[in-house]
Amino acid sequence: MNKENLKKLPKVNTLLEDKRISKYQKNMPYAKYISTIRTTIDTYRNLIVKDLILEFEVEDVFTSCIDNLKDQPKYNLQKVINASGTIIHTNLGRSLLSQDAMNHVMTVGLNYNNLEYNLEKEGRGSRYDHVEQLVCDLTGAEACVVVNNNASAVLLTLISTVTNGEVVISRGELIEIGGSFRVPEIMNYANTKLVEVGTTNRTHLNDYENAITENTKALIKVHTSNYKIIGFTKEVELQDMVDLAKKHNVISIEDAGSGNLIKLQKYTKLNEPTIQDSMSTGVDLVTFSGDKLLGGAQAGIIIGKKKYIDLIKANNLLRSLRVSKLTLAALEVTLNHYLEESEVIEKIPSMRMICENPQLVKKRAKSLKTKLSKLNNTKFNLIETKATIGGGAMPTETVDSYGLEVISDIRSTKLKTMLHNHKTPIVPLTANNKIVIDLKTITKDDYHVIVDFFEGLEWEILL
Ligand SMILES: *Cc1c(COP(=O)(O)O)cnc(C)c1O
């Protein structure tokens, strides 16, 4: 080791004082800025200690630091590569939007638009009109209103229709969704009394019936989207609950969760009920998410009988939960895809991933493996995996997929951190202390980034 070289290495403060470097500070989070400078110096120190560079100019450290800063993402919210195989990954932004949807978001965002302007009547219009007819056509509902997300859809529905009354719900459906959406708490906000019936694993129709009193305003069914009760179980079919509600003249409500509009069994082994199925029971109100199985932007869609949707539209709270113009732009295009089922499978990314033939995934896995085969220090096993639907949509359901298991001397925890710290962060599938790149959720543009990462890793190992 050349001690003179170590002494020559500039300090963090010296780099910070350089104007060519300090101008990057405003472009990125401060912690990222500092850590990039530190990492640059550390890399040089490492090379010096291992005698891998014998001579260098101080100026080289400056230019290398500037290059690294240029490479850093400018924003906190940034693209990551989902190599986890979870298709609707809530932590990674749930559904990807279709190209058509994004193009329309651009048009609406870059221009003035008729968000609340009625061009025919040449005056004030309503933002809630843009997708209402389309949703009704697709689902068979009488009326519809779209809000910020499904949690607000449930809250607004309850507050507008059953306040000061009792709502009957099965104990098996008292769910909490990640980010603390808890059914009992929502009921509390809505000032409704929750009447729990049945047991965790079994609820019968007469449990509902016995709980109905003169104060009962609604029967509600909640899709248990993030867990499954298995074994000795019994839940009441929506149809039976709806019929019972009618018989007793109370409202029937379903929180359907993910909002599936096509028969997935045509393409997969999955058998998720559709919103059309729900509507055909004659249920009064159904709510679902816009960014789960539907494959659109974050939104909550409320559909059902016009007289109840009108109550919801008249509620002042709607203003606080209102949907944005960018969401409406993306949602309208996404819903338009549903007018032609082939477009759903072709254009909506999460639907394409769910329905595509696993052999195509295997092909991609093989081709990525070939691309990476020239590396000496990292090897890859092509393995079968199960890609999960995720997103609070279908908790235990998977589709067949393929992945590359990484074989390396680097410990998997370290490797995972390195993947996360890559210029474009990569989130792998981790199972049994193994790192797997699942090909199901990787998009076309991601391949070269993954190849880049592992090629870079080769150098890290050598150094
Ligand atoms: C996901 C989910 C919600 C919450 O929906 P968001 O759109 O995330 O607000 C509520 N209920 C059920 C049953 C869900 O699956």
* Phi and psi angles of residue 356, each rounded to the nearest 5 degrees, phi first: -70, 155
What pLDDT is attached to residue 186?
Answer: 79
Tell me if 390 CB under 6 Å of ligand 1.
Answer: no
| CB of residue 177 inside a 6 A radius of ligand 1 | yes
| Distance from residue 302's CA to the centre of ligand 1 (Å) | 12
Q: Which atom of ligand 1 is nearest to the CA of 300?
A: 7
On whether the CB atoms of residues 138 and 261 are closer than 8 A, the answer is yes
Side-chain-side CA neighbours of 281 within 13 Å: the count stands at 23
Residue with CA nearest ligand 1 atom 6: 150
Cβ of 272 closer than 6 Å to ligand 1, yes or no, is: no
Distance between CA atoms of 128 and 169, rounded to whole angstroms? 30
**What's the rounded mean pLDDT across residues 30-59?**
88
pLDDT in tens, 221-272: 998 765 666 677 777 899 999 999 999 999 999 999 988 999 999 999 998 8
| pLDDT-derived band at 202, boundaries 50, 70, 90 | confident
Nearest CA residue ID for atom 5, ligand 1: 150
Can you name the residues that pair with 289 across neighbouring β-strands? 300
Nearest CA residue ID for atom 11, ligand 1: 257
On whether the CB atoms of residues 253 and 285 are closer than 8 A, the answer is yes
Atom of ligand 1 nearest to the CA of 298: 7
Q: In a mutational test of the pocket of ligand 1, which residue from 94, 150, 288 has the highest number of ligand atoms less than 8 Å from its CB? A: 150
pLDDT in tens, 325-370: 999 999 999 999 999 999 999 999 999 999 999 999 999 999 999 9
Q: What separation in Å is there between the alpha carbon of 447 and the centre of ligand 1?
A: 32
45-97 pLDDT, tens digit each: 988 888 888 888 999 999 999 999 988 877 889 999 999 999 999 899 999 99
User: What single letter denotes the amino acid at residue 413?
Assistant: T
pLDDT, tens digit (0-9, with 9 covering 90-100), for 116-140: 999 999 999 999 999 999 999 999 9
CB of 222 sitting under 6 A from ligand 1 = yes
Whether the CB-CB separation of 441 and 450 falls below 8 Å is answered with no
CA of 263 to the centre of ligand 1 (A): 21
Give the tens place of pLDDT for each residue, 399-415. Answer: 999 999 999 999 999 99
Which residue has a Cα nearest atom 14 of ligand 1?
Answer: 257
- Is the full-model pTM beyond 0.75? yes
Protein residue with its CA nearest to atom 12 in ligand 1? 257
Q: Whose CA is nearest to atom 15 of ligand 1?
A: 257
pLDDT value at residue 113? 98
Tell me, rounded to whole angstroms, the distance of Cα 341 from its chain centroid: 22
Per-residue pLDDT tens for 152-195?
A: 999 999 999 998 999 999 988 876 655 566 777 877 888 888 89
When the pLDDT of each residue in the chain is averaged and rounded to a whole number, the result is 92
pLDDT in the model for residue 199? 77
**Contact criterion met (CB below 8 Å) for 134 and 162:** no
Residue pair 62/15 in contact by the 8 Å Cβ criterion: yes
CA distance 223 to 228: 10
